[in-house]
Structure 1
Amino acid sequence: MTTNTGQSGGRLLYGCMGLGGSWTPDPYGAEDIAEAEAAVVAALEIGVTTFDHADIYRHGKSEAVFGEVLARAPGLRERIVVQTKCGIRLPDGVRPGIYDLRGPTIERRVEESLTRLRTDVIDILLLHRPDPLADPDDIVETLTSLHRQGLVRRFGVSNMSGEQIAPLAARLDVPLVSNQLEMSLGRRDWLEAGVLVNTGAAAANGFPLGTLEYCRAHGIELQAWGALAQGRFTGRQETPQERATAQRIASLAEEKGTTAEAVLLWWLMRHPARIAPVVGTANPDRIRACRDAARREPDLGHEEWYELWLAARGEPLP
């Protein structure tokens, strides 16, 4: 029986989307299990104990190879938090991909994830994307049932605004604990929304203003997927602006005796919302490069933080 409380409780999360081989239904192999094991070991070495999944990652193979890792490491399950998501259905033949948060679908996806992960409980279940046809009462009834059965300990959402979260939070007896959004120095609309108020650029931003504030006010952890900006500031710069930003990140890393990856994550974590970055690389060396973000308080001063924002922004603040 798994005994973990289900609280994420970590400064970083490890995102398992890169594990499991190809994005096809083809079976995974021994090399895919070995890759997953190496990534999990590297994450544990730097102090990461929350592992983020989704039922669709690699057509379920990300969960499956992780389950293989758990089966080979007795006692590991009790030391970690397992988080997964449901709500997206991948394309199937002529049918395009859709969103599906109907109660029976959620129940079926949870059962399938439990089987693949080889565990008896999911610590945190996130609703992956908003389903426009979803009935909040149906969702709440289903989540409540999963919780009462002991199949899921806690719940959260992903890619949702404060206005979308509120109807669920108002009906659920169990509080929502997290909202996972794409947030990085490369994806800054979440940050820009708050400073573009009363400017002509506000309408074009698109990020739902008030989402960060809603989550902070209601104790909902903000998790940042894509936190390393797909390597645009730590390896594969494509524009002069990205190169200039990467150079400043590198110089700060040298000054502070750390890595560029840690500085990039510190920039997110320095925000008062206490954002929890999700590190998604499958490369063990790059995972280890995030060590100081997992173990040290963000070592960025007020002006240094703004310097990186402005460098990535490429223009002055309004």
Structure 2
Amino acid sequence: MKNVTIGSNQVPAVVQGCMRIKDLSEDQIERLIEADLENGITFFDHADCYTNGLCEEKFGKVLAKHKDLRDKITLQTKCGIVHGPEYTYYDFSKDHLLETVNASLKRLQTDHLDYLLLHRPDALVEPEEVAEAFDRLHQEGKVLHFGVSNQNPAQIELLKKAMKQPFEVNQLQFSIMATGMVDQGINVNMTVDASSDRDGSILDYCRLHGITVQAWSPFQYGFFEGVFLDNPKFPKLNKKVNELAAKYEVTNNAIAVAWILRHPAEMQVILGTTNLTRVAESAKGADITLTRQEWYEVYLAAGNKLP
């Protein structure tokens, strides 16, 4: 498994996302973790809002059962989204952050998180409150490293003005069919939609500031509209991906992962699948380096244009 750098740590390029483990039994979660470890995936991503904490709770039961497992893995969760029966809102207040992290630690049955991310931007954020919460969590050893998710450069800079700890991660949507982070940079000063700067050049910002991008939904198009692989809506793209899969003797999942990892930003790819076969297939993408020409061929086959 290829490694990438987060801050001063070496971590695997592929991450196991845990959003879909809610329907798995304890035995099935154990087998998923075993499959991950066998394929070099030792990084696990959670969020307190995934089924209102049920995913963390189920994962924690496995950690409690296998006492030696915690030291073998990197554990990350996200916080800040509040779901209710008839409402959703975002909350980065000091009290909420402290409360939710303590609740996550309890559910995960661990005394610390390796990484904590602020999930989606809170329009009412007060950076000083976030800083106070992070200071306490860090001083108490409950969180070792911090990051954000789905945030642009200005939002990160606003938070940084009060922070002592560096932001080491930004989790963002990126895949063959979600290329917004690179489109604007390719189409600079063009009078086309792809030239629109919708994220403040977040990819370049992260590279300049040593923030590792974690790419979520690597096989999805749109906003959870479905997978693009083997989808008849995208014949040209699948033809090209399948050609490369045959060349490298892997599956199309691996090529989709390899395409993301080919970018020199040294991203991580977060897998959402809990299918053991797909986990193994996807992990192989970390060991493939597409050529520059192949990367652009896939980009064009996805319906993008070069000026």
Deviation at residue 7 of structure 1 after TM alignment: 4.1
Residue among 224, 229, 237 paired with 1:234: 229
Deviation at residue 229 of structure 1 after TM alignment: 2.3
Counterpart of 1:234 in structure 2: which amino acid? L
SS at match of 1:59: helix
State whether residues 81 and 91 of structure 2, in contact with CA within 8 Å, keep that contact through their aligned partners in structure 1. yes
State whether residues 7 and 81 of structure 1, in contact with CA within 8 Å, keep that contact through their aligned partners in structure 2. no
Residue among 266, 273, 277 paired with 1:281: 273
Partner of 2:61: 68
Partner of 2:78: 85
SS at match of 1:299: coil
Once residues 8 and 182 of structure 2 are traced to their aligned partners in structure 1, the CA distance between those partners, rounded to angstroms, is 29
Q: Any idea what the Cα deviations from partners look like across 1:151-188, whole Å, max 9, x if unmatched? A: 10000000000111112234322211100001000111
SS at match of 1:9: strand
TM-score for both structures, normalised by structure 2: 0.91
Partner of 1:13: 15
Deviation at residue 292 of structure 1 after TM alignment: 1.5
Partner of 1:42: 35
Within the alignment, does 1:184 sit opposite 2:181 as a pair?
no
Once residues 275 and 190 of structure 1 are traced to their aligned partners in structure 2, the CA distance between those partners, rounded to angstroms, is 12
Counterpart of 2:18 in structure 1: which amino acid? C
- Give 5+ residue unaligned stretches, structure 2: 1-6
Residue among 153, 165, 179 paired with 2:144: 153
Matches within 5 A, 1:1-318: 7=9, 9-21=11-23, 32-90=25-83, 92-94=84-86, 96-202=87-193, 205=196, 207-229=198-220, 232-235=227-230, 237-239=231-233, 242-294=234-286, 296=287, 298-313=288-303, 315-318=304-307
Partner of 2:4: none
Counterpart of 2:26 in structure 1: which amino acid? I
Counterpart of 1:154 in structure 2: which amino acid? H
Computed over aligned residues only, the root mean square deviation of the Cα atoms, in angstroms, reads 1.9
State whether residues 94 and 130 of structure 2, in contact with CA within 8 Å, keep that contact through their aligned partners in structure 1. yes
Instruction: Summarize the Cα distance change of 1:283–1:205 in structure 2 as closer, same or farther, 3 Å threshold.
Output: farther
Once residues 37 and 128 of structure 2 are traced to their aligned partners in structure 1, the CA distance between those partners, rounded to angstroms, is 38
- Give 5+ residue unaligned stretches, structure 1: 22-30
State whether residues 7 and 123 of structure 1, in contact with CA within 8 Å, keep that contact through their aligned partners in structure 2. no
Deviation at residue 205 of structure 1 after TM alignment: 4.2
Counterpart of 1:248 in structure 2: which amino acid? K
Counterpart of 2:296 in structure 1: which amino acid? Y
Identity of aligned residues (%): 36
SS at match of 1:55: coil
Higher strand share: 2
State whether residues 20 and 33 of structure 1, in contact with CA within 8 Å, keep that contact through their aligned partners in structure 2. no
State whether residues 249 and 263 of structure 1, in contact with CA within 8 Å, keep that contact through their aligned partners in structure 2. yes
Once residues 238 and 56 of structure 1 are traced to their aligned partners in structure 2, the CA distance between those partners, rounded to angstroms, is 33
Once residues 170 and 73 of structure 2 are traced to their aligned partners in structure 1, the CA distance between those partners, rounded to angstroms, is 19
Partner of 2:3: none
Q: Any idea what the Cα deviations from partners look like across 1:120-156, whole Å, max 9, x if unmatched? A: 0011000001101010111111111110011100000
Counterpart of 2:80 in structure 1: which amino acid? G
State whether residues 10 and 48 of structure 1, in contact with CA within 8 Å, keep that contact through their aligned partners in structure 2. yes
Deviation at residue 248 of structure 1 after TM alignment: 1.4
- How many residues get paired? 297
Partner of 1:27: none
Once residues 305 and 210 of structure 2 are traced to their aligned partners in structure 1, the CA distance between those partners, rounded to angstroms, is 32
SS at match of 2:185: coil
